[in-house]
Amino acid sequence: MMNQLSSWQSYWLIRSNRFRKKRAIKKQLVMLSLDKTTAFYSLIVGGYVFASIFIFNDFMQQFDDYFLIIEQQMGERFWLILTLVPIRYVFQSFRNPGVLITSSEYQLGVLPHSIKKIAYYVAIEKWIMQLVRYVIIGTFIILITPIDAFLIWIYFLLFWTIEVLMTIPQWKLFQAHFMVKLVIFLSLLLVDIVGTIIHQSKLISIAILLTVLVSNFLLRKKLFSQIHWGRVTEVNNYLVWNMPLISRATKIKFRRERKYNIFQNMASRKRPFAYTNIAIHKRLWLQHFRENIEFIIQVIGGLFLAIVILPFVKDLIALFGIAISIHVYTLFAASMFRDRFHSGIVQVLPWDVKSFRNTMKHWSVLGFIPIMIPIIIYAIIQFSWWSISFLLLIITLFIMNLTAKMDNAEALLDKKITDFSLKGVVAFLSLFLIVLCEFQPYISLVSILLLAYIVFQNYNSKRKKHVG
């Protein structure tokens, strides 16, 4: 008779096979991108750079003053940081249960193994791995910086303890209603802000720590009651198998299954659509944006931050940044547009591309607003009255670039591949007008011509549609 595998052995079998599979995928990626000779020379160059920076020259010595400031801040702000760390886990609980039970681990619960036991193994493994990670990072920091070793270990011990203590609260919060999470998150933020203002961070941090301890104690018996396993495994499958580098190299995106969403239970969402393109496409766009929300936030947030920061570097660079951000954002909007047609059921349907484009138009404009805000502030500060024509220039260039890229996306969807789009090149080159405004602000008056061109184009296309 065969011996049955223990729960630990079964879990370990899954873990080690997952590790092997991931390693094999990464190995394939390396083989695809590097041959042996390139890998060898890259290793030598990498080794040389590392040695020249950290060993032969005292490269890090020039940053000593900064490290001393960091050390001083670490000492002074210990209690404030202690209050902030738990908020991170509450924030994570919106999208991540914190305990990596994928559908494979969950399957073990269907076999003669207890899912509770498996969950404990997963949590303990996570704590051990995190401890190892902290020890490695801590040692590295101690080796290359002059920061007091004791302070570093205290910090990492603090991070690790909170990681352990927040495992249960995050797990239970993930199961809770969106509003519960939001209220807790905002309350913690508020308490933190108040604590900082009245200089009572120490008291607040002790109170938060005690609350976390009490919640651990109270929740310990309800760990596995009212758990939405479907959602847990859906999110964790994505977290485990979404490998951005691999996706980028193979151009195959790992899509989250997303069987559950907070709007699904709303009766209004279940009602049949008004039988119009607008009503149907609106839902399809919302679904598409929700599926790519991380990517959207990254791009818009990144461009927003770039425009906020660049004016502090140099005005010319800030204007370059604005021009590039228009190019990147419009490229991104066009790529989101095309991507809609290559996912889910839409890929097997006939595409009314024009109608889809019309229904996406206001979303593209809406997404540009966060980027436009720092541009407006910068323009007012930098150009005073000229800011009016400068902003008009930004808007017209945005419309021109968006139109050119969407035209191109439309052509690509119809497989009428255009490698060279004159309109696209002109729209791109005209972005340099933004940079030229640094030397002569009146260049922004070109925007009046551009506006006239856009109005003429719109009138033309409407007339064509009418005749058609």
Q: Cβ atoms within 10 A of the Cβ of 237, count?
A: 19
Q: Applying CB under 8 A, which of residues 199, 270, 464, 466 lies at the interface with other proteins?
A: 270
Q: How far is the CB of 460 from other proteins (least distance, A)?
A: 22
Helices (H) and strands (E) in the chain, counts: 21, 0
Stretch that binds other proteins, among 45-53, 190-198, 280-288, 419-427 (CB under 8 A): 280-288
Q: How far is the CB of 278 from other proteins (least distance, A)?
A: 10
Report long-range pairs for 258-266 (Cβ below 8 Å, ≥24 apart).
Answer: 258/234, 258/290, 258/291, 259/230, 259/231, 259/234, 260/228, 260/230, 260/231, 260/234, 261/290, 262/178
Q: How far is the CB of 301 from other proteins (least distance, A)?
A: 25
362 part of the interface to other proteins, by CB under 8 A: no
Number of residues lying near other proteins (CB under 8 A): 32
95 part of the interface to other proteins, by CB under 8 A: no
**CB closer to other proteins, 175 vs 287:** 287
413 part of the interface to other proteins, by CB under 8 A: yes
Q: Applying CB under 8 A, which of residues 197, 348, 422, 429 lies at the interface with other proteins?
A: 348
- d(Cα 356, Cα 364) in Å, to the nearest integer? 12
266 part of the interface to other proteins, by CB under 8 A: no
Q: How far is the CB of 330 from other proteins (least distance, A)?
A: 23
Q: Applying CB under 8 A, which of residues 12, 295, 351, 432 lies at the interface with other proteins?
A: 351
Q: How far is the CB of 343 from other proteins (least distance, A)?
A: 9
Burial of 457 (0-12, 13-18, 19+ CB in 10 A): middle
Stretch that binds other proteins, among 92-100, 257-265, 297-305, 427-435 (CB under 8 A): 257-265
- d(Cα 103, Cα 66) in Å, to the nearest integer? 46
What is the CA angle 269-273-277, rounded to 5? 125
Q: Cβ atoms within 10 A of the Cβ of 171, count?
A: 23
- d(Cα 85, Cα 90) in Å, to the nearest integer? 9
Q: Which of residues 281-340 bind other proteins (CB under 8 A)?
A: 283-284, 286-287
* Binding region for other proteins (CB under 8 A): 257-261, 264, 269-273, 275-277, 280, 283-284, 286-287, 344-345, 347-353, 413-416
